[in-house]
Amino acid sequence: MADSPKDREADRDRAGIDRRTFLQQSSRAALGLGAFGVAYAARAASAPAGAPTIQRFVTLGKTGLVISDIGFGSSGCPSADIVRHCYDRGMTYFDTAEMYGSEGWGDGEFVETFIGEALHDKRDKVVITTKYVAEAKDDRKLIMSKLEASLRRLRTDYVDIFLNHAVNHLDRLKNPEWFEFVDRAKQQGKIRFSGMSGHGGQLQECIEYALDHDLVDVILSSHNFGSDPKFYERFTKKFDWVANQAGIRRLFEKAHQKGVGVIAMKTQMGAKLNDLSAYEAEGATFQQAALRWVLSDPNVDAAIISMTSKEVADSYIRASGKRGLGASDARVLEHYVRNHAADYCRPGCSRCESACPLGVPIADVLRQRMYAKRYGNLPLARSGYRALGESASACLSCSGKPCENACAYGLDISALTRETAALLVG
């Protein structure tokens, strides 16, 4: 039986709107994109010749929100100028959190303030998400106060999406106060949609529970080419590699079937500062190849990535609209795995978390190492390390025996955590 026109239209929306078609169609409000399309067309037309612009837009699940396939990740954002730059390049999706500071977690100026400064007069042309770590014991009044503080910094009376941030335990998903807050905030028009973000060891369990109990409109999840064993089938015979989060694609498909929007983060497998230019060809940078891999999943709507400078932002924006890996893309990703997997702590694993008798949060420590060594952001890493408490630095005086062989991927945990403590303490 042939698809109906309505079905074909839905398929086109889900698959994304390429830039040429979008610009051609945006002048006709009958397409349903209305003022959004006209505004984007004007911005794209005014971009400097040769400048990268967003090439593809998607509808975020059942929310109906139309967003750019590459979104603005704001952790470590240093100024409102970069926010404006990305907006001028056609970006329409902006993700932030009340805990993000310009220099680290809670350090420097609130990044929400930069987004509010840059976008308060463009509010109807963008989709804004912010987040708060709502613990299992938090009550609705506390969560509401956190949202209202975010709204003041963002200079808006509502956010499109409000997420429970970094969820890694089911008890946080089972807190009835969160859902009382969500219902009230929606009724008051302070949020439109809600959901969860996550990248910890119990990520898949939490996503499955949230989907099975219809708790979320949107999911923000870690996802990169290190997550799926299928990517490695072409070269696993040549070296030993074990992928983690093997079930995440099934969960994204389940979310898609339920109409839950899926946005990916942590897309670069920790490789932001690595110079892989010798292995890049045909215009395929590592960063763009990693983004293309993520966006090739038909159940991933969009990806966010931290925009820390205009040059960095432009390099990511060039990946917009391109889905699927070319041969040169695969080669550069394979090279990265071969040479950098030995010290990369995989999001969504945490199999080592019970190894330390002193309770050192090993995965969190190594995440701060990634921020310092791979992202080049020492302030962010130091503030994140401080937030872990005194137990994190216990590695400096430990023999290393308790965590020996605790990593399923062969990482030398004690050497890496000692290095991290020496680098970040003080």
Q: What are the chain's domains?
A: 52-338 (3.20.20.100), 351-424 (no CATH)
Concatenating the DSSP letter of every residue in 383-403 gives: HHHHHT-GGGGGGGG--S-TT
Q: In what order do the strands lie in the sheet with 17-18?
A: 17-18, 56-59, 66-68
d(CA 7, CA 4): 5
| Distance of alpha carbon 118 from alpha carbon 263, whole angstroms | 23
> Which amino acid makes up residue 151?
L
Tens of pLDDT, residue by residue over 66-77, are: 999 999 999 889
* Residue-level pLDDT at 346: 73
Lowest mean pLDDT among 23-37, 192-206, 285-299: 23-37
Mean pLDDT of 252-264: 98
For residue 9, CA distances in Å to 198, 217, 241, 262, 263 come to 32, 22, 41, 20, 22
Strands 66-68 and 56-59, sheet pairing: antiparallel
pLDDT greater than 70 at residue 25? no
Determine the average pLDDT of the residues in 409-416: 85
Residues 238-253, mean pLDDT to the nearest whole number: 66
State the average pLDDT for the chain.
82
Mean pLDDT to the nearest integer, 80-88: 97
List phi, psi (to 5°) of 323.
-120, 140
Which is more confidently placed, 247 or 284? 247
The pLDDT tens digits for 368-392 are 887 787 777 777 788 788 888 877 8
Token readout for 155 is 């200079």
Its pTM surpasses 0.85:
no
Q: Where are the alpha helices (DSSP H) in 278-361?
A: 286-295, 310-317, 327-340
What is the per-residue pLDDT for 364?
Answer: 83
CB-CB contact of 128 with 356 (8 Å): no
Q: Is the pLDDT of residue 6 over 80?
A: no
**In the predicted model, what is the mean pLDDT of residues 264-287?**
68
> What integer pLDDT is reported at residue 40 of this predicted model?
66
- Lowest mean per-residue pLDDT among 181-185, 275-279, 369-373: 275-279
146 or 47: which carries more pLDDT confidence? 146
In the chain, pLDDT over 90 holds for what percent of residues?
A: 46
| CA–CA dist 162, 311 (Å, integer) | 29
Question: 251, exposed or middle or buried, with CB in 10 Å at 0-12, 13-18, 19+?
Answer: buried
* pLDDT over threshold 80, residue 349: no
Phi-psi region of 65 (alpha: psi -120 to 50; beta: other; left: phi over 0): beta
390-411 confidence digits (pLDDT tens): 778 788 888 888 888 888 778 8
pLDDT of residue 426: 61
**Bridge partners (DSSP) listed for residue 221:** 198, 264
Highest mean pLDDT among 24-38, 170-184, 351-365: 170-184
CA angle 318, 50, 275 (to 5 degrees): 45
| Structure token digits, residue 223 | 């996802």
